[in-house]
Amino acid sequence: MSDTSHYPVWERDPVLTVEHLTMRFGGLVAVNDLSFNVGRGEITALIGPNGAGKTTVFNCVTGFYKPTEGRIVMRHGKAGKADDIAALTRGGRQSATSADGALFLLERMTDFRISHHAKVARTFQNIRLFGGMTTLENLLVAQHNRLMVASGFTIGGIFNLPGYRRAREAAMEKAIGWLRQVNLLHRADDPAADLPYGDQRRLEIARAMCTDPHLLCLDEPAAGLNPRESAELNDLLHYIRRECGTSILLIEHDMGVVMEISDHIVVLDYGVKISDGTAFEVRNDPSVIAAYLGVEDTEVEQVEAVLEAEVQA
């Protein structure tokens, strides 16, 4: 057995492994033979110019699209030896549970199972809160499954058995804890649609966290935020990684956010991975600079600013 301790976390202990992912829409290849890992307990950023295929990757991971080719493995606990994954892939099942943990092949799973069993949560570029429900209710919906099990599939709930009552109180406590964390406790009973934009973003992340995810996928969480709100978002993501141990995969255009919080950055361009490494490695990678400078005029300033900051530092 070779010593792997000097390898980065995403190679030693990945929570998510994407292998040879390809997604075609008719003749258009949105993602082409993409492979990368998300390290357990790390913040991984997926960046790239507009139209690079980042959101397509998210849609494949969260079951919105069925990939044309490729395998997406989600690991809970220590499970995930190569043999086990190969056996599961051959077996045609969606998941395998062992003493070490559990394995899930996300490309075989759809809608609620992704969240319920594989414990992957996501947010969207455009906010998708339940606008007509209160802030608190939004967080309670996310705890639906735990409550359903506790209520013995409604029967215990009807008779209000002690077990269900305890679960309900725990759910309420958790929701309130998250409201406090995102500074929205005073708006608990307001409709979610009435909150300001930045608050809605944070609430959406809190709601995703209420599903107890092992992996949290955030699609442009900083889009449309002002600098102060961006800073609050950074704090929230740091808190999530520190206190909850949840691994985070995010798409982001705001390089300030990306460079500050990411442990690991994967760069896509035209559906192909062009760079993969730490923030330091990626921003010195000539192909990344070329992709940004050569393709998108609007990104020029950003890359220059990043490079300049690098020189000064």
Partner 1 sequence: MEYFLQQLINGLTLGSIYGLIAIGYTMVYGIIGMINFAHGDIFMVGSFIAMMMIVALGLTASAGLAFLLLALVLVLIVAMVFASVWGWTVERLAYRPLRGSFRLAPLITAIGMSIVLQNFVQVTQGARVKPLPPIVTGGFTLVTGVNGHNAVQISTMQIVIIVTTFLLMTGFSLLISKTRLGRSQRACEQDSKMAALLGVNVDRTISLTFVMGAALAAVAGLMFLLYYGVIDFYIGFLAGVKAFTAAVLGGIGSLPGAMLGGLLIGLIETFWSGYFSVEYKDVAAFSILVIVLIFMPSGLLGRPEVEKV
* Secondary structure percentages of the chain, helix, strand, coil, to 5: 45, 25, 30
Whose Cβ is closer to partner 1: residue 111's or residue 310's? 111
Task: For residue 228, give both structure tokens.
Answer: 């102060």
Residue given tokens 């708006």 in the structure block = 187
Q: State the minimum distance, in angstroms, from the CB of residue 165 to partner 1.
A: 12
Whose Cβ is closer to partner 1: residue 154's or residue 278's? 154
Q: State the minimum distance, in angstroms, from the CB of residue 270 to partner 1.
A: 28
Q: State the minimum distance, in angstroms, from the CB of residue 157 to partner 1.
A: 7
Whose Cβ is closer to partner 1: residue 194's or residue 304's? 194
Whose Cβ is closer to partner 1: residue 87's or residue 158's? 158
C-alpha separations of 182 from 16, 119, 187, 199, 229 in Å: 27, 22, 11, 8, 11
Whose Cβ is closer to partner 1: residue 137's or residue 299's? 137
Q: State the minimum distance, in angstroms, from the CB of residue 133 to partner 1.
A: 6
Residues that bind partner 1 (CB under 8 A): 62, 64, 111-112, 114-116, 121-122, 124, 128, 130-133, 137, 140-142, 144-145, 147-148, 151, 154, 157, 207-208, 211
- Which residues share a beta bridge with 251? 46, 219
Q: What are phi and psi of 289, to 5 degrees?
A: -60, -40
Whose Cβ is closer to partner 1: residue 208's or residue 267's? 208
Residues contacting 170, CB < 8 A, separation 6+: none
Q: State the minimum distance, in angstroms, from the CB of residue 249 to partner 1.
A: 15
DSSP secondary structure letters along 75-118: EEET---HHHHHHHHHHT-SEEEETTEEEEEGGG--HHHHHHTS
Q: State the minimum distance, in angstroms, from the CB of residue 194 to partner 1.
A: 13
Distance CA 293, CA 298 (A): 9
